[in-house]
Amino acid sequence: MVVRSLFFASFRDLAGTGELAVELPAGARVADLVAHLRRPGSPLASIPERPAVAVNLEYAPLGTALADGDVVAFIPPVAGG
């Protein structure tokens, strides 16, 4: 299956793009996508192990099952005051 990964702010800077199509095996979960993106040598290897994500516009835990065509947005930490 193929999922679209969207990156914003600092995650977009790391990825060098705002969007990637990622092929994963059937039955993959958000945690599997994160592990794939964090693999050694990847530009996204430094993203957190437990980033905030939204699947199809809804915040989702890492255990969320993915389906072909899902859109997973990686939401970077924010700071401010």
Q: Please tell me whether the overall predicted TM-score, pTM, comes out greater than 0.85 for this model.
A: yes
33 located within any domain? yes
DSSP 25: -
Q: Tens-digit pLDDT profile for the chain (81 aa)? A: 999 999 999 999 999 999 999 999 999 999 999 999 999 999 999 999 999 999 999 999 999 999 999 999 999 987 666
47 located within any domain? yes
81 located within any domain? no
80 located within any domain? no
Whichever domain contains 35, its CATH number is 3.10.20.30
- The region that residue 23 occupies, defined by phi over 0 for left and psi between -120 and 50 for alpha, beta otherwise, is beta
Q: Say how far apart CA 10 and CA 52 lie, in whole Å.
A: 13
- The total number of structural domains that make up the chain: 1
DSSP 41: T
Residue 49, CA atoms < 13 Å, CB-side half-sphere: 0
Q: Which residues constitute the domain of residue 29?
A: 2-75
